Structure 1
Amino acid sequence: MKNINTTRFGTIDIDENKIINFLEGIPAFETEHEFVIVPYSNDTPFLFLQSVKTPSLAFLMVDPFSFFGDYEFTIDDDVLDKLKIEKQEDILTFSFLTVHDGDVKKTTANLLAPIIINQNNCQGIQLILENTGYTTRHKLADDEKKTGDDE
């Protein structure tokens, strides 16, 4: 076990075997390589990807398939090799969320750049999808989920 300091959660104990290593960092945060997943609470699908190094850096995220049933994309072989993914069951997929203007009803999911984690070896990457209609701003809580085409 290891203690890390966080702005949102205070000091938390983490299992060092659960630290996710992003070899390339995350776009715009390339010097951040180690993160842990922290549940928002037990009764919600929301999670935080908390930096081990920087207490104030935590990304709100969710399993996109829980909200976007038709979400699909292909992971290139080079990414599968880089993360040492051997089978579909190894993969965890998340999307970063943005709460706009402090209004939870305006929360959007970044479907253009999913977080891909090999849960067997805790290697991760933010995959930037190409040639897709997905955007960084898909409405999460809306009866008519937008695809981002009209924004």
Structure 2
Amino acid sequence: MLEIETRKFGRIEVDEAKIVVMPDGMLGFESYKRYVLIQEKIMEPFKLYQAVDNPDLAFFVIDPFLVIEDYAIDQHRVLKAASWRRDDDISYLAVVTIPAHRPDQMTVNLMGPIAINNAKKESYQLILENSGYPLKHSLFPG
């Protein structure tokens, strides 16, 4: 077990085997390579993608297929870009932005999902160019 500091939950213990390495980091935060996914019942359906080495760097994330049922990612492109195999267990997350004091205006980035290889504990942030998916998709349209 590894003890890490988080802004949202204070000091927590995480299983080192659950640390996900992002060789390229997140866009804009390339120097942070290790993350852990924090799942708390109170936050469902959201999770927290917490940087292991920076307590102030964390992203709320959601399964993009919960946002758009027919969300499509070119799996072949993902496998090729990451050098993963077809039978690898891959899951996807989309980063959520929650404006201060305006949760009704929260958006999800469907253009830049995170692909996680659950077996390798490795992840990459993808850029789905020409996909038609927006950078800021409202979670509460209307």
TM-score when normalising by structure 1: 0.86
Structure 2 spans left out of the alignment, 5+ residues: none
Equivalent position SS for 1:100: coil
CA contact (8 A) 2:37 2:48 kept: yes
Q: Which residue of 2 aligns with 1:126?
A: 125
1:3-18 pair list within 5 angstroms? 3-18=3-18
Deviation (angstroms), 1:42: 4.7
Q: Which residue of 2 aligns with 1:149?
A: none
- C-alpha distance in 1 between matches for 2:110 and 2:100: 20
Q: Which residue of 1 aligns with 2:81?
A: 79
Residue 39 (structure 1) aligned with residue 39 (structure 2): yes
Q: Which residue of 2 aligns with 1:91?
A: 90
Equivalent position SS for 1:5: strand
CA contact (8 A) 2:82 2:124 kept: no
Q: Which amino acid aligns with 1:79?
A: A
Deviation (angstroms), 1:140: 1.0
Query: CA RMSD, aligned part only?
Result: 1.6
Of all paired residues, the percent bearing the same amino acid is: 34
- C-alpha distance in 2 between matches for 1:92 and 1:16: 19
Number of residue-to-residue matches in the alignment: 140
Equivalent position SS for 2:104: helix
Q: Which residue of 2 aligns with 1:30?
A: 30
